[in-house]
Structures are given as structure tokens and as C-alpha cells.
């Protein structure tokens, strides 16, 4: 089967072909990175829009901003015919819908603006990187599936595998979703070099992004990490909160600057983050100074890089040297990740803290923010008590640890032993 429209031919393989014919009400299209999941969903959206005049489909991700980077590029460049009037203004980041001449419409949205989504009804819902959603998100999306223009209504989620306990995997295991397995051989466009890069990943990230299996975080350093618990929507930080910044230098690896606020309950909130590779410290310093305008900080904690620190200081950013002790620092962070008596952890990350996504890191399948580092921050497998974390993609992890250790000091080891011995 080849679908030719305009100058953009598409031939679906394997799971992608099954997806086009499948009428199941809930579908989970899962698989490793770059296997053509998103393309397949978008092709189906476009075909249904052409076939069923007046249909409405929702294209959704956790945040509207993340749609622009990934899904909408493929939609506009690979799927939609070139030169259609629906590609006029406004520009991609502001586009809210794609109207077809036959009255069909594809609406784009993020769950971060869910009131817009919830006020209308759809024939189809396409959720991309659905592991970022909660099951509540998914179930509230399902209530919107009743436009009734198409002979069937359908919600399709695409995702890389996550932990086996993830609600998407569980939902499919319970038979509530039809599972389609997308595999590397389903995408003829994928390069050997890309595959090789995936093959070089380590730990759970390799399991999920290369092998495509729902792999646990047994080896995770911060196994308490749970996006549903430790990430929150943004809000304006009150002026009087204590603030600190923490920095991990890098060039090939990302340079990370985290802005933390400390609320009256001693909860640390990451409210802004710079996570950028291949930039000069000079440029980062300018960005930091700009972003920090009007705020004041108790300290800016950095790792050991004399030249980098000197550059920051030239731009009016005085620095404090981080205490780098790894293992006890990790214990201090772990204490903060635990849920306190008030039902909340004492370290939280705002979901859209990131100033800007580094597209080079995205392309390399590397984490693009501190929150993305958690699942891949693992102990060396099979190691004994003297185990250390695998030192890859740990730049946000380091900066976060410096901030925690600055506030809390190092975990008192002798105390720990006593507690354990009780
Ligand atoms: N059958 C196909 N023919 C030609 N190109 C394809 C095909 N399937 C996918 N591609 C192209 O391969 C690239 C990767 O596909 P896509 O983004 O859909 O992968 P994905 O599985 O969603 O990846 P990720 O897990 O990273 O989200 C895209 O540029 C897409 O257009
Ligand atoms: Mg995708």
C-alpha cells in the first residue's frame, strides 16, 4: 500500500499499517525511539480528515510547547500536502488548528491548557508521548470522544515504554487498550547511525528506547522519583521566598543552571532551568543575568571550574563552591524526594521550568532537562554496596545535588547507620 498525495508519499509497514485499519476504541502504539509511531498517527489523522468531511480530531501532548518541537514539524513537513492554505499564518508555535477544505479540522493542544480541550468534542484523539500524561488526563480526554461524525470514535496514544508499572502498560494488560508494537523495521527512513546511537544508551533508557521494553527502575538512584508526585504546574513564586541558583558546567555536555525557590515549608521548587549544550559560558552568563532580572539570591552554587566561575563573576554572578561528596549528597536528595507528613515531597520541579529545549540533545535522544535525567540515572548494575551511579546524563542531577547539599548539608552518615541498626 502506498498513499500518495501531493509530493509526499508514505508507505506504512507493520504496526503502522495495522494502525490505519484498526477501529478499536483505545489504542496503545508503543515502541522504541524513531520507529515511526508519531508519523503513523499523523498519517491516520490526515487520512480520516480527508475521508470523513467535518470530522474533528485532537492532537495532544502534555504541554502545547512540546507539540511544536516534535509532532507539528512532522505533521507540516511530512504529512500535510505542501501549499495548502491551512499552513498560512500564524506561525507554528501559535497554530491552534488545521482546517481542511471539506470542513474537517485537526486541533492541537497541550494538557497544560486543558480547559480549551475540554470545551469541545472530537471523533478522534491522538495523544503523543502519552507516558507523560496521567491516567486521569487520559480518562478525561476520553469523555470528549463523541462528535459522532465518523462511524467510529477512537483515542490513540503513542509512547516509548516506561516502567512496567506505568498506567499505560497496566491499562493495556487489563485489555482496556489494544496494543500495537512499533519496531525499528517499521521505519524505512531510520538511519544506521541513529540506531547505533540508541544501541549505545545504558540502563533502562537502552531497554526502553532501543529494545522497546517496559523496563523497571530497579537500578534507579532516585527510585522514589515519580513525575506525578515531583512535578507540578507552574505558578508565580512569591517575591519573599528564599532563592538560590546552582550550576553544573558543560560544553559538549549540557551546561545546567537551576533556579530554586524555597517555600515557607522548606520545600525546594525548581522554577526555571537552563539546560544547553555547545554554548560559551559567556553566553550562558548573559542568559542567566537576563533571566534573573529583578530577583535576588542567597547563593549561586557551582562545581569546580575556575575559568567558568571567573566568567560568571565578571557578569555579576558571584559563586559559591559546591560540596561534591556524591554518596551522601544522594542521600540528602533522597530525603527530600520522600513524601513528607503533609503528603508532598520537599523537592519539586515545575513542569515547564525549562527556558528552551536544546534541539541537538533532543536529536541525540539525550535528556533535555533535569526531569528527563531521573529514569536513566542508575547504579552500575550488579554492583555491591560500594556501587556508584553511571556517570552519563547526570548534569541536572549534579546541579540539583549541589543545591540540596547547600541547603541541608551532607547527610550524617553515622546517624544513618544508627537508624538502620535499630
Ligand atoms: N513509513 C515511513 N516512511 C518514511 N518515513 C518514515 C516512515 N515512518 C517514519 N518515518 C520518518 O521517520 C522519522 C521518525 O519517525 P517518528 O517521529 O514517527 O518516530 P517515533 O516512533 O514517533 O519516534 P519517538 O519515539 O522518538 O517519538 C520521521 O521523520 C518520520 O517522518
Ligand atoms: Mg514520536
Query: Domain of 375: which CATH number?
Result: 3.30.420.280
What is the whole-number distance in angstroms between the Cα of residue 45 and the centre of ligand 2?
14
Q: Which domain-ending residue is among 155, 186, 211?
A: 211
pTM for the structure as a whole = 0.61
Same domain as 347, residue 384: yes
For the chain, percent of residues with pLDDT exceeding 90: 71
If you ran DSSP here, which 8-state letter would residue 76 be given?
A: I
- Confidence class for position 422, pLDDT limits 50, 70, 90: very low
Identify the helix (H) or strand (E) that includes residue 205: helix 203-206
- Confidence class for position 381, pLDDT limits 50, 70, 90: low
Domain around 399: 227-421
What are 41-96's pLDDT values in tens digits? 999 999 999 999 999 999 999 999 889 888 999 999 999 987 776 676 678 888 88
State which ligand 1 atom lies nearest to the alpha carbon of 182: 21
Q: Which ligand is nearest to the CA of 78?
A: 1
- Does the beta carbon of 35 lie inside 6 Å of ligand 1? yes
Same domain as 231, residue 347: yes
Same domain as 285, residue 192: no
Same domain as 202, residue 71: yes
- Confidence class for position 338, pLDDT limits 50, 70, 90: very high
What was the pLDDT predicted at 5? Answer: 55
State which ligand 1 atom lies nearest to the alpha carbon of 10: 3
Domain assignment present for 390 = yes
Q: Which domain-ending residue is among 178, 211, 244?
A: 211
Same domain as 264, residue 203: no
The answer to whether the CB of 290 falls within 8 A of the CB of 284 is no
What is the whole-number distance in angstroms between the Cα of residue 57 and the centre of ligand 2?
18
- Does the beta carbon of 302 lie inside 6 Å of ligand 1? no
Domain assignment present for 205 = yes
What is the whole-number distance in angstroms between the Cα of residue 176 and the centre of ligand 1?
26
Residue nearest to atom 4 of ligand 1 (CA): 189
Q: Is the dihedral of CA 148, 149, 151, 155 positive or negative?
A: negative
Same domain as 151, residue 55: yes
State which ligand 1 atom lies nearest to the alpha carbon of 39: 18
- Confidence class for position 236, pLDDT limits 50, 70, 90: very high
**CATH (domain of 107):** 3.40.50.300
Q: In what order do the strands lie in the sheet with 255-262?
A: 231-232, 347-350, 268-276, 255-262, 242-248, 299-302, 320-321
Least confident of 97-111, 317-331, 382-396: 382-396
Amino acid at each position: 500500500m502506498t498513499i500518495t498525495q501531493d509530493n509526499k508519499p508514505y508507505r506504512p509497514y507493520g504496526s503502522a499499517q495495522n494502525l490505519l485499519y484498526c477501529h478499536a476504541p483505545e489504542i496503545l502504539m508503543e515502541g522504541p525511539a524513531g520507529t515511526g509511531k508519531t508519523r503513523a498517527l499523523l498519517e491516520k489523522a490526515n487520512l480520516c480528515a480527508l475521508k470523513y468531511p467535518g470530522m474533528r480530531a485532537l492532537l495532544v501532548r502534555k504541554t502545547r510547547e512540546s507539540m511544536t518541537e516534535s509532532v507539528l514539524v512532522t505533521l507540516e513537513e511530512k504529512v500535510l500536502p505542501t501549499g495548502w492554505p491551512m499552513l498560512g499564518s500564524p506561525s507554528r508555535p501559535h497554530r491552534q488548528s488545521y482546517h481542511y477544505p471539506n470542513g474537517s479540522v485537526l486541533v492541537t493542544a497541550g494538557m497544560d491548557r486543558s480547559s480549551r480541550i475540554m470545551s469541545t468534542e472530537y471523533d478522534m484523539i491522538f495523544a503523543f508521548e502519552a507516558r507523560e500524561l496521567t491516567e486521569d488526563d487520559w480518562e478525561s480526554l476520553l469523555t470528549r470522544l463523541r462528535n459522532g461524525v465518523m462511524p467510529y470514535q477512537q483515542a490513540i496514544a503513542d509512547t516509548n515504554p516506561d516502567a512496567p508499572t506505568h498506567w499505560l502498560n497496566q491499562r493495556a494488560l487489563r485489555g482496556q487498550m489494544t496494543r500495537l508494537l512499533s519496531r525499528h523495521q517499521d521505519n524505512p527512513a531510520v538511519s544506521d547511525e541513529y540506531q547505533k546511537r540508541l544501541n549505545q544508551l545504558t540502563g533502562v533508557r537502552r531497554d526502553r528506547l532501543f529494545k522497546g521494553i517496559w523496563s523497571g527502575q530497579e537500578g534507579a538512584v532516585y527510585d522514589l522519583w515519580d513525575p506525578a508526585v515531583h512535578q507540578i504546574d507552574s505558578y508565580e513564586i512569591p517575591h519573599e521566598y528564599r532563592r538560590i541558583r546552582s550550576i553544573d558546567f558543560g560544553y559538549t555536555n549540557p551546561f545546567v543552571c537551576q533556579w530554586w525557590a524555597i517555600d515557607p515549608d522548606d520545600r525546594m521548587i525548581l522554577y526555571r532551568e537552563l539546560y544547553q549544550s555547545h554554548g560559551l559560558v559567556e553566553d550562558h552568563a548573559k542568559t542567566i543575568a537576563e533571566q534573573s532580572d529583578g530577583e535576588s539570591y542567597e547563593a549561586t552554587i557551582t562545581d569546580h571550574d575556575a575559568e567558568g566561575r571567573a566568567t560568571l563573576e565578571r557578569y555579576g554572578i558571584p559563586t559559591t563552591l559546591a560540596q561534591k561528596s556524591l554518596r551522601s549528597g544522594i542521600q540528602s536528595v533522597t530525603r527530600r524526594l520522600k513524601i513528607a507528613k503533609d503528603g508532598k515531597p520537599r523537592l519539586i520541579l515545575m513542569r515547564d521550568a525549562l527556558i528552551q529545549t536544546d534541539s541537538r540533545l533532543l536529536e541525540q535522544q539525550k535528556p533535555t532537562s533535569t526531569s528527563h535525567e531521573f529514569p536513566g540515572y542508575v547504579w552500575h548494575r550488579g554492583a555491591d554496596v560500594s556501587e556508584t551511579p553511571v556517570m552519563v546524563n547526570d548534569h541536572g542531577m549534579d546541579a540539583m545535588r549541589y543545591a540540596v547539599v547547600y541547603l541541608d548539608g551532607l547527610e550524617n552518615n553515622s546517624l544513618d547507620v544508627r537508624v538502620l541498626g535499630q
